[in-house]
Every structure is written in structure tokens, then in C-alpha cells.
Amino acid sequence: MAAAPRERSGRTTPPRPEGTTAVRRPTLGGPARGDVRLDIQVLRALAVGLVLLYHLWPDRLPGGFVGVDVFFVISGLLITSHLLRSAVSPGGVRLGRFWANRARRLLPLASVVLLATAAGTFAFLPESAWRPTLRNLMASALYVENWSLAASSVDYLARDQAPLATQHFWSLSVEEQFYLAWPVIVVLAAGWAVRRARGRHLSRAVVVRRGVMAVMVAIFALSLACSVWLTATDPGTAYFATTTRAWEFAAGGLLAMLPTAQPAAGRPVAVRTAGAVAGLAAIVASALVLSDATPFPGTAALLPVLGTAVFLWAGRVPGASRPAVAAALRPVRYLGDISYGVYLWHWPLVVIVPAALGGPLGTAAKVGVLAVTVMLAAASKVLVEDPFRYRPFWLAPVRRGFYPAAAGIAAVVLVCVTGLGALDRAAARAADLAAARPDQTLSTPTDPDAPLAPTLADRPFDNAGMYDCFDLEHLRARSCTYGPADAAVSVAITGDSHAAHLLPPLISLAERRGWRLTTYVGISCDAGLAPACADGPETFDTIVGADHDVVLFSAFRGSGSDYDDVRTYVTALHDAGVRLLPVADVPMNPPTTYACIDDSGGDAGEAARCTTPRDEALERVPDRVTRIADELGTGYLDLTDAFCDGERCRAVSGNTIVYQDSPSSHLTATFGRELVPLLEAGIDEALGTAAVTRG
């Protein structure tokens, strides 16, 4: 994943620092009030440096995403230490005050960044990015972005979607969920331990510590097991899920309760120095050795997590040779001090600046992004973070600490709801105007004064009916039937998503003609007998045994399925006596043409000029369907004339946008319905003969 957060099945995943700069209250065995733990400062600066380099120069630091693991461990240590001190005190853990403090610390700046991201999105990103960005801005404001990305990470339909400017909020969402749940867990564990210890002569501190440790050991073990299992079975979800990350916080929490968390003076300096060096080396090694190809988190996350824990265990090693000596350098300490702001600001810049500049970031632009990131973080600390964090007005009463966070969340949600509503109204207006025009056909000229349909914002989602009955996760075969069971004509279609995008016109046609239409489509089902097509052999037997009058087959010319597997499937259907109607794949829609539509700003006249040379659209990636049909002598239905003339292929037909995405080149449902006459003629001819060729 170049210059983007770590991807899993099309989705992305950058780390996020916890962001506090000093231990204002001591951790167990830590520095006195007002001191700064230099080892933690080093880790903060290191982690935020890793993530910055990874996002700007991913090839140089392929495992820089491990910064998230470093900060999760730090958060577990600091928060558990604070909660344990409160739990053993007479007043116990004050949940309201704890949550108010975290809200004041983190949420106001997060809301400012989200609002700025919304403004940058509308100003510079293409309209097709607006709807998903607004949805994820809302998820980020409500701190469920990690679950939103977990859902979309396995979304077959989102694989062509550009990185979102909000994706880095996934780890902030995980941390906020941690901050909500962890104090409750500590309170419940402490209460459980105290009740069990009644009548025994043990101090409250010992009882609470033992009870909390037992619960955290259980969380560590269960979460780590879940992480290992889910990383192997569902890696996209595993990367983002709170359940697969909880063990990293628990590792920091356990560190806070170990005897070695007490003052380090009793441990030999040589041992502590060796531990600090080993821990630092493990973190750096993980950033250099791990990559996007590494199943993560799973067992691979043990390297940065244990490295961080060992480094923190070593504590503040004295002497000029200590690894934490870098913290004596003012730039390092300052980077740790503003790390939260650096993290929040850098990723929206990485996503939005290339769109503003009109091209990928070069070295100079990347250095500029770094400089602007630091400046914004520095200003944010003075203007936003510190005022809400330290001014007495926000400290008492406790409820006042929630006001800035609530106002920020409300503002972001309001912007998103308003923006999404405006996009919905624009889409409805375009649909109404299109319906009011005379029926558009493939030969209808573009009306420059009429809107495009679908709108730019909605074209990635204009897939009505295509995936209602489609195996999106390689889990199980799905089949749907449209039309009466006793229809005189039974038509079926099989293949991958480029068969599925023919469903809107086929459903319309079947309803009009009274046909029965049955679908057998799914991921990798252009190779219907291969293991990647879920239940493929059973589906094959169903198709053969159903005695359909004609079975359409289509497949993406850029499919990742092996050609021999595709040919084997089609040949098996042919040899089983199935009357096949292969449908040639549509022309490719390259990213340049897709971007051209965005650059039109919705102007139909400008968009109509967005075309692709015919040889690039048809010959750069040769069509598999026509090749197989020629080898078998079945003939095929060729729809190319609906897209191309002798020299160029269109991305806009009349006022209709042809493609949803690029490079996957799925048709919009709106344009697909214009293919009804061609599909109808081809099927009618196939019903009367064993083979048909068009185009």
C-alpha cells in the first residue's frame, strides 16, 4: 500500500499515538508529579516518526504501522496505573471524572481535525469521494470508525475506493472504546476481588491488585487467541477489531502491576540497559521486517508489543549511554509532546494535498506535508489541546469537561448529516430530471444543460440489484429467482461481478417479458468449478439439472481467476448440454478516464469528452469470454458497439455515466438498463438457435 495506511482487502490502517506528553501523575514506581518519563517520550517520538515515514515513504519503512502497537501498550500502562491508584484509595475510581478528563484531552482537537477534513474534502476531493468520506467522518466522530473499516475491509464493492481521509481515526476509536470499558472492568474486578477476600487479613491494595491482574491475564489470553484466530480467518476484520487489540492494552496493564513496575533502582543498570536496547531493537526491527504482506496483528504483533513492554520495564536507565538519552534532545521531546496533533493532522494532508496539487506527492511535497503537519500540531497544542486540558474553567464541575467534546461531536455529525442530505437531494433531482426527459437510448446525444445520471457522488453506489444475491465473501453460493415459477422461458446467468452488473437490465427484461431469471453469480465464479467460487461444483450441478432455456455467462477481462479454470468451467457447461450465451466483457475504464469524469464537476458537456482509446479499452487486457467462445465454437453476444465507435470508447452515454468504478469497470445500473434492447435481441436469437454472434 503506497503512501497509504496499511490495507486489508482494500481497506487501510494507520496507527495513532495516545498523545499525552508527560506523566503528570506518577505511574506505579514512576516519576514524581510533574516529572516526565524520558523512556515514554522516546517511544512517543519514535512511534509517531515511524507512522509518518511509513505513510509518506512506505517502501522505505514497510512495517511502520507498528506504531499503533507501541501506543496501545503505553496507553495500557498509563491508564491502568492511574486506575489502580484510584481503585485502592478510599474514594475509589471516579468514572465520571476519568471520562471527563479523557474527553477534554482528546475529543476537542479530534473534532477540529474532522471539521477541517470535511472542508478539505469538499474543496479538493472529487465528488465521488464525498459520500464515503462523510459517512466515515460521522463514524469517526462517534468513535466507531474501526468497526466501520472492519466492515468495509471485507467489502468486495469497496476495493476500488481511494483511501479515506478519516481512516487514521480507527485507532483513536479503539482507544476511546478502551477508555470507556477499561475503568468499568477495573471497578468490577476490584469489587469482585474485595468481596471474595472478606474475612481474610489482606490489605485492600493487595486484594485489588490480585483481582485486577487475574482479569487482565484473562483478557490478554483471550484477546491474543482471538487475534491469532481471526488474523488467519478474517484478516481485514482482525486488523481493526477492538477484540483483537485488547491484549495489547492488557500487556501495558500487566506491566503496571508487575513488581518490576516499582522503582527501578533495585535492578542492575546493566540489565536495564540491555532490556532497553533489546526493546528498542525489537520495535525498530518490526518496522523494518514486517510489511503489508505480513498477517497482522496475530503473532506478528508480539514483536513490537513485547519490545515496547521490555523497553518500559527497563525504565529510566541512568547514564549518558542510556537509550533514552535521545529524549534530552529538545526536538525529540517536542515531537513526543505534540505527537497527538501530528498524528491527527498528517493523514488528511497525505490524502487531500495530492488532490489539491493535481498529482502524486513528490519528495518536495512530502517534506512540505511534514512541515505543515508539525506546524498544525504545534498550533493545535497551544490553541486547542492545552486550553481545554488545563484551564480551571473546564475542570470543575466535572460535567463541564464533557461540553467541548459533546459540542465537537454534534458539529461533526451536523455537517455530515447536512452534507449527506444535500447529496441525496441532488441525486433525487437528477433522477427526476432524467425521468422527465424522453427515454434515453444508446444513440441519445448529450444534453449539456441537463445533469448527469447518476450524480458524481452516487455513481460508485449505483448498483441496484447487482449484488442482492451475490457471494461477496467466498462463503456460500447464492441463487435468486425473478419472475413466475411457471414461466414459459427460463433464463439464467452465471459468472463473476461482470455477470452481476448485467442483472439490472436482465431483471427489467424478465419482468417485461414474463421470463423466469435465475442467478448464479459470486466472487471468482467466472471459474465456477475452482475452490475460490463457493460451492462451485454444487452450483454447476444445479445449473445443469435445471434445464434452463439459455444460460448467459460473462466475466471480467481483468479477473484474477486462472484462465484455464475459467475455460474449464465454461467447457464443462457446454459439454453438459447447457445452451450457453457467452457475453463479451465491457471495455476497460482506466483511472484516467474515471478521474476525467470527476474533473468535469458534473458538467455533462465536459464529461462527454471523457473517452478512452479503443485499443486501450479493449486490447490492453484481452477479453477471456470471446476467446473461450471462439475455441468452443459457441459464438457470443458482443455489446461493444454500445460503448465504442471505431476509435474511442465512451464513459458517458447521452447524460448517463457508464461506469461505477475504475479499474474494475462495473457498469452503473442506470446505464445497464439502456442495454435491454441488445440483451433482448441476443437472448431471443439464442432461444431460436444454439449460438449467436453480435458485433
* pLDDT tens column, 439-486: 667 778 888 988 899 999 999 999 888 888 888 777 788 899 999 988
- Residue type (1 letter), 3: A
User: Other CB atoms closer than 10 Å to residue 538's CB: what's the count?
Assistant: 11
Question: Are 675 and 695 in contact, with CB atoms under 8 Å apart?
Answer: no
Residue listed under C-alpha cell 535492578: 267
| DSSP, residue by residue, 85-143 | HHHHSTT---HHHHHHHHHHHHHHHHHHHHHHHHHHHHHHS-GGGHHHHHHHHHHHHTT
DSSP bridge pairs for 613: 648
Question: Quick one: cell of 349?
Answer: 494532508
Orientation angle between helical segments 95-124 and 130-141, nearest 10 degrees: 170
Question: Quick one: cell of 17?
Answer: 499515538
pLDDT (tens digit per residue) in 224-250: 999 999 999 888 899 999 999 999 999
For residue 263, pLDDT over 80 is answered with no
**Which residues, 6 or more positions from 277, have their beta carbon under 8 angstroms from its beta carbon?**
323
For residue 642, pLDDT over 60 is answered with yes
* Chain length of the chain: 695
Write down the domain spans for the chain. Answer: 6-412, 459-689
Running DSSP on this structure, what letter comes out for residue 667? B
Which is nearest to 5 in space by CA: 179, 180, 145? 145
Percent of the chain with pLDDT over 70: 88
Secondary structure (3-state) at 322: coil
pLDDT (tens digit per residue) in 87-121: 888 778 899 999 999 999 999 999 999 999 999 99
| DSSP, residue by residue, 187-204 | HHHHHHHHHHTTTS---H
Percent of the chain with pLDDT over 90: 68
Please compute the mean of the pLDDT values over residues 630-649 and round it to a whole number: 94
Residue 247 φ then ψ, to 5°: -65, -25
Which is nearest to 138 in space by CA: 436, 414, 539, 502? 414
Please compute the mean of the pLDDT values over residues 653-662 and round it to a whole number: 94
Query: Which has the higher per-residue pLDDT, 276 or 443?
Result: 276
Q: Which helix (H) or strand (E) is 371 found in, with range?
A: helix 363-380
The hierarchical CATH code for the domain 459-689 is 3.40.50.1110
The angle at the Cα of 531, spanning 529 to 533, to the nearest 5 degrees, equals: 70
Secondary structure (3-state) at 618: helix
Average pLDDT of the chain, as a whole number: 87
Secondary structure (3-state) at 657: strand
Query: Which has the higher per-residue pLDDT, 70 or 322?
Result: 70
Secondary structure (3-state) at 652: strand
**Which residues, 6 or more positions from 601, have their beta carbon under 8 angstroms from its beta carbon?**
127, 456
pLDDT (tens digit per residue) in 201-220: 777 888 888 899 999 999 99
Which is nearest to 384 in space by CA: 109, 576, 167, 134? 109
CB-based burial label for 160 (10 Å; 0-12, 13-18, 19+) = middle
Q: Which pLDDT value is given to residue 17? A: 34
State the Cα–Cα distance between residues 451 and 147, nearest whole angstrom.
36
pLDDT (tens digit per residue) in 327-347: 667 888 899 999 999 999 999
Confidence grade of residue 437 (pLDDT, cut at 50, 70, 90): low
pLDDT (tens digit per residue) in 400-418: 989 999 999 999 999 999 9
Question: Are 166 and 145 in contact, with CB atoms under 8 Å apart?
Answer: yes
pLDDT (tens digit per residue) in 489-515: 999 999 999 999 999 999 999 999 999
Q: Which pLDDT value is given to residue 323? A: 60
Please compute the mean of the pLDDT values over residues 368-390 and round it to a whole number: 95
Q: Which pLDDT value is given to residue 433? A: 75
For residue 46, pLDDT over 90 is answered with yes
DSSP bridge pairs for 637: 583
Question: Quick one: cell of 97?
Answer: 471524572
For residue 26, pLDDT over 60 is answered with no
pLDDT (tens digit per residue) in 598-612: 999 999 999 999 999
Confidence grade of residue 681 (pLDDT, cut at 50, 70, 90): very high
pLDDT (tens digit per residue) in 526-573: 999 999 898 889 999 999 999 899 999 999 999 999 999 999 999 999
Residue 296 φ then ψ, to 5°: -150, 140
User: Other CB atoms closer than 10 Å to residue 674's CB: what's the count?
Assistant: 22
State the Cα–Cα distance between residues 345 and 336, nearest whole angstrom.
15
CA 254 to chain centre: 31
Residue 602 φ then ψ, to 5°: 95, 0
Q: Which pLDDT value is given to residue 316? A: 66
Query: Which has the higher per-residue pLDDT, 607 or 14?
Result: 607
Virtual torsion, Cα 469, 470, 472, 477, nearest 10 deg:
100
